[in-house]
Structure 1
């Protein structure tokens, strides 16, 4: 569970709670993870996260989707502008599907404070397309970095890129498609690899070489974020058998 961002935990376990597959204690235990508490901030003070979810359910929320945008890549968010800006700054957002609301998390010590914002309906991501995009980005990055001799400047990056079976181990509530759990684990793994490769210039001897390495890695990081978003978007999941 610790490998999942807060919005992803809320998407998987919050959806299971909204659909009656788990109880409130299981929801809170899973969403908290290593945190002490999660609250929703507002003009009148903070309220428990579960209370906000119950209110959203009363307003028509049927599931929760997590999206992981970045500057220049809103990842399918449709607004409004203030919500997109907050989500991009945080790097994640949980959409309360059916209620027209979004929750943007902020880590405050060992607590998470969610900001409630309006959200416009967006088309669900295509799970298969996201999976294929991640595989294609991985292959392209591995080939490009091999030409740039990644093994000599970051051997650990080269090893991780070529281990196609690597994935962050994750726990999910019953009813979460196994395909989504697998995709999320691979996306988190490759996103971590991308961040490792982009942590510095890798001892590049020239600005041009550093730029070439970044150009090879950035599409992989984007594909990993989009794959994680698709894996955490119940509106795009395959129908339950």
Structure 2
């Protein structure tokens, strides 16, 4: 289990493996909850879904345990869990409706439950995460191969652009990361996740991390123009990294085993 993955990616991978009988419940819960104290699911009843078979799983406030919520979704026909990592202006991994999209953008991530028309948005307070349920509609997704090619292209383009901007002068650690793109910490994945998708997710996370590191302090730039040039060079890489992560964590587009 790797807590380097965003929580929505963890639920997508391990939740899908659990639905398909490839991991046991304890592994599912350990992988998704990670170092946090608790996870719960809220709002399924408001969507008109059936009551949980075991009412003791509920809290009496419309919130139930993570396992109780996932079991209810399975009973409602869930076939897989897929992740979305949207930002304003790029709703990759989302299909709507608008209310769900807005909440997902605010959180920076969400899970779409195929077969149940449900979206789950993680809301974390302290060491507790509540997955708030919304109606969701079918989404369009980047192809795994397409996302892979785009990420490779943007990594090369960003490295060239940042070299022209003398990245080593204002962010030497970014230069180090760019020069060591082949050296990535491996991600742990459950059975059923294609190896190509595990590798793509690792590269997507790496790309987003490089961008975050490079943009953490615009004060490192000589001028406002240079700061803008830096952002312009990195925005396509950040977008490609998120799209790669969405494709890698969306079973709907996984290549055949």
TM-score by length of 1: 0.96
CA distance in 2, matches of 1:168, 1:81: 36
CA distance in 2, matches of 1:151, 1:124: 36
Alignment of 1:175 with 2:195, yes or no, is: no
CA distance in 2, matches of 1:218, 1:202: 18
CA distance in 1, matches of 2:184, 2:130: 29
Alignment of 1:102 with 2:119, yes or no, is: yes
Alignment of 1:234 with 2:251, yes or no, is: yes
**1:73-98 superposed Cα distances (whole Å, 9 cap, x missing partner):** 10141100000000000000011111
CA distance in 2, matches of 1:61, 1:151: 48
**1:195-225 superposed Cα distances (whole Å, 9 cap, x missing partner):** 0101111521211111001100111111111
**CA apart distance, 1:3:** 0.2
Q: Say which SS state the counterpart of residue 77 (structure 1) adopts.
A: coil
Look up the match of 1:113.
130
CA distance in 2, matches of 1:212, 1:112: 37
Q: Say which SS state the counterpart of residue 220 (structure 2) adopts.
A: coil
CA distance in 2, matches of 1:179, 1:166: 16
Alignment of 1:90-239 (within 5 A): 90-239=107-256
Does the 8 A contact of 1:38 with 1:113 survive in 2?
A: yes
Look up the match of 1:10.
11
Q: Say which SS state the counterpart of residue 122 (structure 1) adopts.
A: coil
Does the 8 A contact of 1:67 with 1:93 survive in 2?
A: yes
CA distance in 1, matches of 2:185, 2:106: 25
Look up the match of 2:91.
74
Alignment of 1:64 with 2:77, yes or no, is: no
Does the 8 A contact of 2:92 with 2:141 survive in 1?
A: no
Does the 8 A contact of 2:110 with 2:121 survive in 1?
A: yes
**CA apart distance, 1:46:** 1.8
Q: Say which SS state the counterpart of residue 50 (structure 1) adopts.
A: helix
Look up the match of 1:19.
20
The structure-2 alpha-carbon separation of the partners of 1:76 and 1:33, relative to structure 1 and needing over 3 Å to count, comes to closer
Does the 8 A contact of 1:168 with 1:186 survive in 2?
A: no
- Number of residue pairs matched by the alignment: 240
CA distance in 2, matches of 1:66, 1:133: 19
Over the residues paired in the alignment, what is the CA RMSD in angstroms? Answer: 1.2
CA distance in 2, matches of 1:93, 1:193: 22
**CA apart distance, 1:123:** 2.7
